[in-house]
Amino acid sequence: MLEIQEKFSSEGYEELISFAEGVELHITEALDKGEVTGFIAYAYENDRTVVYDYDDGGDLMLCDGLVRSVIFKSCLKGIETAEFRLMDKERYDNLRKLRFIPENSNIAENIDSFMNGCQNCKNNNQ
């Protein structure tokens, strides 16, 4: 069974921490039967959440789950904007496929509205 849990140490993520230049990163891992299958690394700033990297192992649904978990936590903190500052530029493709960010942008705005809009998807008869 897949679980998404925050990791409370930085072990194994030293290169990413270096890339983030000393920012206090939060790392959430996806675990399947205790084995790490993906992660997302992010930090909270004054008015936004910044995502520095994620790894979904090529699974678009895992990407969706990891990003939504961070957006949900951001909404609980009253944060309305998510910015993606990814090391690997190709990882923006999945974010655009999932419509987290628009073309030619790395910013998701009004994330609370985005999350609330998803509640109505299952009731949409189109």
Query: Any idea what the Cα angle at residue 48 is, between residues 43 and 53, rounded to 5°?
Result: 40
For the chain, domains (ranges, CATH) are 2-118 (3.40.630.30)
- Span 75-92, pLDDT tens digits: 999 999 999 999 899 999
pLDDT per position as a tens digit, 3-53: 999 999 889 999 998 888 878 899 999 999 999 999 999 999 989 999 999
* Burial track 98-119 (b if 16+ CB lie within 10 A, e otherwise): eebbeeeebebeebeebeeeee
